[in-house]
Copies of this chain bind each other. A is one copy, B any other.
């Protein structure tokens, strides 16, 4: 089973088009990343005490469907890969009501030593949790859009 994070679309996340603005999909995905960190034992208190954190350094988002104010959404998170200092995640956001996928976000997260100001290996508790989670998530189908790039086929502007 992927990890699950639930959210509800707040009024201040709606833009002039009358639906959730692109930044706030990323805010919800960020909360799902926080939930992932909690799940591997890197909750806020542990990060603060150990003087470590996790920074998203790269993200690829697909905005698939509009989302309205007040809608409940559910983010499922799959650990695609990891190494000593990095985690590669794939978030899928769906409407809680009917499971329609509304967006996906693939991210690369770096583990950092906030005191030294550089990357640092995950400490044993998190590293072990990642190993266990990886074993479980390796059984899930690999998300179709991992390593996706934005491309626009060349064609006539009248095409």
Chain A residues at the B interface, C-beta cutoff of 8 Å: 15-17, 21-24, 26-27, 30, 44, 53, 55-64, 80-84, 86, 88, 106-108, 114, 127, 130-131, 146-152, 154-159
Pick the residue among B16, B88, B157 that contacts A152 (CB under 8 A): B88
A150 touches B83 (CB 8 A): no
Check A83–B23 contact: CB distance below 8 A. no
Q: Which residues of B contact A55 (CB under 8 A)?
A: 17, 63
Provide 20 A-B residue pairs closer than 8 Å at the C-beta atoms, listed in order of the A residue: A16-B44, A22-B26, A22-B56, A23-B23, A57-B62, A57-B64, A59-B60, A59-B61, A59-B63, A59-B150, A60-B60, A60-B61, A60-B150, A61-B61, A84-B156, A84-B158, A106-B150, A107-B150, A130-B157, A131-B157
Residue of B nearest to A148 (CB): B149
List, in ascending order, chain B residues with CB within 8 A of A106's CB.
150
Distance A86 CA – B23 CA, assembled complex (angstroms): 20
Residues of B within 8 A of A131 (CB): 157
Q: Main secondary structure on chain A at its contact with chain B?
A: mixed
Kindly report which residue of chain B lies nearest to residue A106, judged by CB atoms.
B150
* Contact between chains at B61 and A157 (CB < 8 Å): no
Inter-subunit contact B147/A151 (CB<8 Å): yes
The answer to whether B63 touches A56 (Cβ under 8 A) is yes
Quick one: closest B residue to A131, CB to CB? B157
Contacts of A108 in B (CB 8 A): 150, 152
